Structure 1
Amino acid sequence: MTEQQKTPPEQALKDIEKRLNALRRETDTGQAHSSGGSHSVGRLMWLAFNVISDLIAGVICGFGIGYGIDHWLGTRPVFIAVFLILGCAAGVLNVVRFLRQYEERQREKPADSEE
C-alpha cells in the first residue's frame, strides 16, 4: 500500500518535469528568435533612452534659460513659462528628427544586406 501511495506523486513529479522541460524549450527558442531580430530588447532600450533624454534635455534647458532670464530681469514666472514651452517644443522636434534618421537607417539596412 505504501508503494501505491508513492507511485502517483512520483508520476506527478515526472509529469511536472516534462511540462517544465517543454516550457523551457519553448522559451529558449522564442528568445533566440526575438533576440536575433532587428528590434532586439537592447536596441529598443537604446532607442527609448535617446528619445527620453532628448525630451528631458529640452525641458531642462528651457527651464534653465527661462529661470536665468527671469532672475536677470526680475520677472518671476514669465520667461520660465515661455522658455519651458519652447524647450518642450525643441525636445519634441529633436525626437522627431532623431526618429526620422533612425527610420531611414533601418530602411537602408535591408537594402545593403541584400546586395
Structure 2
Amino acid sequence: MSENGERQDADALTTALKGTCPRCGKGRLFAGPVRFADRCSACGLDFTQFNVGDGPAAFLILIVGAVLTVLALVTDAAAEPPWWVHLVWLPVGVFLTLGGLRLAKAWLLGAEYRNRAHEGRLIP
C-alpha cells in the first residue's frame, strides 16, 4: 500500500526476473522449476486463479529451436568440428528452454494480474 492507501503493484519485468509475486513483489511465485506455487507466501495472492496455459512453451520451443539450429549450422560451417562437439547444444537447449519458460510464465501471470484477466474474462 502506498501512503495514500492505494495498492502498489510490483514492476512486471522485475517480478518476472526474480520469480516473485506480481502484487507484493516479495513472495515466491514458483514451487518448482516451472511450477507455480498455490499462493504467495507474503501477501496470500491465489495463483491458481490465473491460467497461463501452454502458450509460452510453444513459442519458446520454436524460438530456442531456431536459435540453436542457426548456431549449430554456423558452428559447423565455420569450424567443421567432429560430430560429438554438437552434443553441447543439448544442455544449452534445456537451459534456455527452462530458463525462458520460467521467465515467460512469470511475465504472463503478472500481465494477467495487472490486467485483471481471469480465465478469459475481465474482473472489474
Shorter-normalised TM-score: what interval?
0.3 to 0.5
TM-score calculated relative to the size of structure 1: 0.45
Structure number with higher helix proportion? 1
Greater RCO, CA 8 A, separation 6+: 2
Give the TM-score, by structure 2 length.
0.43
